A and B are shown apart, each in its own frame.
Chain A
Amino acid sequence: MRFRRSTFAAGLAVAALTLSACGGGEDEPVTEVEESPEFEAGTTMAELAEADSITIGTKFDQPLFGLRGPSGDPEGFDVEIGKLIAAELGIEPENIEWVETVSANRESFIEEGRVDIVVATYTINDARKERVDFAGPYFVAGQTLLVLEENTDINGPEDLAGKTVCTVEGSTPAENIRENFPEAELSLTDAYGNCLEPLRNGQVDAVTTDNVILSGFVDQNPGEFKIVGEPFTEEPYGIGLQKGDDAFRDFINDVLEESYENGAWAEAWEKTAGTVLETPEPPAVDRY
């Protein structure tokens, strides 16, 4: 009886469903934290800077973007972007409270004010814009497929007819498959990490979500999985915030643009996802 570490990783992902983290990381932020920045009274920025703390929702189970190990804070590109924004508000990384937001609860957590912003591989789309506003995009991903290394019969989404595909209920990838590839059978769970064990065991034929997330899984499990086909969607990742808070949205967009200019964005990428993936060109923010 040989247990793989992955079982326990999956277990932790399940266990993490009900946990949320706080506390602080010790590593150096990519930008200097502003000394007492000045904001117009009454804005969200002023409130957050005044309180000297911010609550950020992110994923806890996505390697390279937001992954929380057995101890401490989540790590990844989304987390670094969160730290960048906090730094411009004069908030030290250790004063950020990280909250797990799974695909299904992101809008409601923003609406209810349980989190100030969400940086969680969060695709900007029109349905979501009804409920929340987005700063960014700060990155553009694309949906693709993950299969076992030895698999030869799935080379793209058109091969999914009659196959079982694992993804997360309530996410964009699940809706995409339902709409565009109705022949595929969906197995749905609440965290992408849960899909890996069934894929290994052959209970599902493929896992689908954004290419960058899948890259993280490939990287974590050398020689086990591969990504097939070209990305078949465009997923612009944005930063979710309260609907109608335009001043805050402009502020975050400014922070993003500045980080493109001064190299902080590239540095954040290279520290995290860049260990596995090429450094892309940052996308233009959309000030809709």
Chain B
Amino acid sequence: MDAIIDNADLYWEGFTTTLSLAVVSGALALVLGTVLGAFRVSPIPPLRLAGAWYVETVRNTPLTVVFFFTVFVMPQVGIQVPFYSSAVVALTVYTAAFVCEAVRSGVNSVGVGQAEAARSIGLTFGQSLRHIILPQAFRTVIPPLINIFIALTKNTSVAGGFFVAELFNVGRRLSNSLSDQVPWVLLGVALFYLLITIPAGVLAGWAERKAAFAR
């Protein structure tokens, strides 16, 4: 127990880094993933192809390999950013693929009649997506999106091996210096992860009830 209390400041530093990685990457992935989802349901074949290609490529690449590209390979081709930003890019690119699929399944859950009705009153594809389809689709995708966010929170630990001092990295540092209290150190790390993921789950339940609507 002392291990956690004595090093609360270190844990806190790691926790805030982990939280900001998760929130920033989550927000960016939500935007990128929604755009990609729109690509995948658009009437324009090249866009559909591009969306599908992105999802299949990124979704099937291990996250560590994505990190490897953003941390070691991007600087070689002249894109040099701090390690934290490399981590955000890697997590965003990776998570966006999953968001895209969630959005696509949400769009597919909206009745085809809705889209036809939108077209019959003269809305363009963009307008009907914005005003009719996506608002309904988002309600359906809240649960899978929260799942993705929880997975993302845990995935931020990969950044610990790539120079970002987040929770996992702090855990490794402490388990070295406090080799006799490793279980406590790791328990502390786990608790801080739960501090992010459990509220996310609660929020999901609330948002779902809020957005419930009759089909």
Contact = CB atoms under 8 A, between A and B. Distances in A.
Contacts of B172: 104, 169-170, 190
Given A3-B76, A201-B80, A14 B165 contact: no
B162 A189 contact: yes
B57 interface: no
Interface in A9-32: 10-11, 14, 17
A198 B68 CA distance: 12
Contacts of B73: 3, 7
Given A104-B176, A190-B161, A202 B169 contact: no
A10 B169 CA distance: 19
Contact of A175 (B75, B177, B182): B177
Contact of B163 (A2, A174, A189): A189
B122 interface: no
Given A169-B172, A203-B83, A4 B76 contact: yes
Contacts, number: 67
A35 interface: no
A187 B161 CA distance: 10
Interface string A270-286: 00000000000000000
A166 interface: yes
Contacts of A127: 177, 179
Contacts of A108: 179, 182
A1 B73 CA distance: 10
Contact of B75 (A130, A187, A197): A197
10 contacts: A1-B77, A7-B73, A169-B173, A170-B176, A175-B177, A188-B163, A197-B71, A197-B72, A198-B71, A202-B80
Given A2-B76, A197-B72, 19 more contacts: A1-B77, A3-B76, A4-B76, A11-B68, A14-B68, A104-B175, A104-B176, A127-B177, A131-B179, A169-B172, A170-B172, A170-B175, A188-B169, A188-B173, A189-B161, A198-B163, A202-B80, A203-B75, A203-B83
Interface of B: 64, 68, 71-73, 75-77, 80, 82-83, 161-163, 165, 169, 172-173, 175-177, 179-180, 182
